[in-house]
Homo-oligomer: A and B are copies of this chain.
Amino acid sequence: MEVTARAPGKIILSGEHAVVHGSTAVVASIDLYTFVSLRLSTSENDCTLRLLLKDVGLELSWDVGKIKAALPESDGFDSSTPTTCTREFSEAISALVAEQNIPEAKIGPAGISAFLWLYTSIRGFEPATVVVKSELPLGSGLGSSAALSVALAAALLASLSPGSLDSSKQGWLDFEDDKLDLLNRWAFEGEKILHGKPSGIDNTVSTYGSIIEFKSGNLTMIKSNLPLKMLITNTKVERNTKALVAGVSERTLRHPEAMASVFRAMDSISTEFSMLIQSPATDELAITENEKKIAELMEMNQGLLQCLGVSHAVIETVLRTTLKYKLTSKLTGAGAGGCVLTLLPSLLSGTLVDKVIAELESCGFQCLIAGIGGKGAQVSFISTS
């Protein structure tokens, strides 16, 4: 039996940076996924755990006996109780990763460590082949690492108790709510290895899908009544998120009053954004009206982000290009590169979208089209017997 899980990426629709200073952020899943397939070994002679990272063309393998020997003794594994990787485990896992001599440019060792931790914690030392593929560009603020943690935990948990899912059904199956909670907590443990101190937003959005309002550490799931579509332009300019967040904090220290008002404005924009998404829009006219308001909020939010000093010449290039086609854009995430969102109104012609994309791609950018606020983690079974 092979189980494949998929988990979506995310975008910040509104409130990035300001969220660090107490404002509301609105974060949504996108219908671009990371896929993790797990096939347990059926041959008794096979003692290998294989990890195939399709996107970077990397194949790693370990002897499960050697993994067991390398890791500290533990009281046994309990997949129903997510635990944090201890320093002792972390060091042992790092040594197992280091053995593989992974070319540095291909993938960070933290991703492999997170894999080994989640795999051994949930499935122990069973030989298997795990294949990872993703539609999400890595490290560009679209939640690729959380999607990996979620999809991996989803595949592992689903393989443990396939009975809880109706595996006779074709296509993508939803998890039950309690399983989603468990999955989210495991994915958060993976994120800790990947990011140190994750906010938990990315794995939560990837697990549950939909749209989440985040304020002062509190998450509220909201239901979208507006089928939004965004063009995501990956500028491929790498940025240092920590330095950008620190830069905003320093500006806040230099101009406390002005910045407090800017954060309040961003909070209002997020709240309004969230209300617009939830408000029932039944006919085309109402949808178009709400899309116009959302475009205006995006324009305002972009201005405020420029006020925080986190824009970048390459982001302005995307804004200028999409504005030529009367489309509104804003940066998403940390800024200073990364990705830019452009609202694609529901009545926009496909020809125009093609033109915008062609022009953006001619600048060397990568363009993705994403539906907003869809499903979270799901699994699919293929019987290999």
Contact = CB atoms under 8 A, between A and B. Distances in A.
Number of copies: 2
Interface residues of A, number: 34
Contact of A300 (B269, B300, B301, B307): B307
22 contacts: A257-B271, A258-B297, A261-B262, A261-B265, A262-B262, A262-B265, A262-B300, A264-B264, A265-B307, A299-B306, A299-B307, A300-B307, A300-B309, A302-B306, A302-B307, A303-B307, A303-B311, A304-B307, A306-B306, A313-B320, A313-B323, A316-B320
Nearest to A262: B265
Q: Interface SS of chain A: helix, strand, loop or mixed?
A: helix
Nearest to A297: B255
A361 interface: no
Contacts of A195: none
Contacts of A268: 255, 257-258, 261
A126 interface: no
In this complex, the member of A269, A272, A306 whose beta carbon has the largest number of chain B beta carbons within 10 angstroms is A306
A142 interface: no
Contacts of A261: 261-262, 264-265, 268
Nearest to A309: B299
Given A313-B323, A316-B320, A320-B313, A258 B303 contact: no
A308 interface: yes
Nearest to A292: B254
Interface string A234-277: 00000000000000000100110111011011001101100000
B313 A303 contact: no
A355 interface: no
Nearest to A300: B307
Nearest to A301: B307
A305 interface: yes
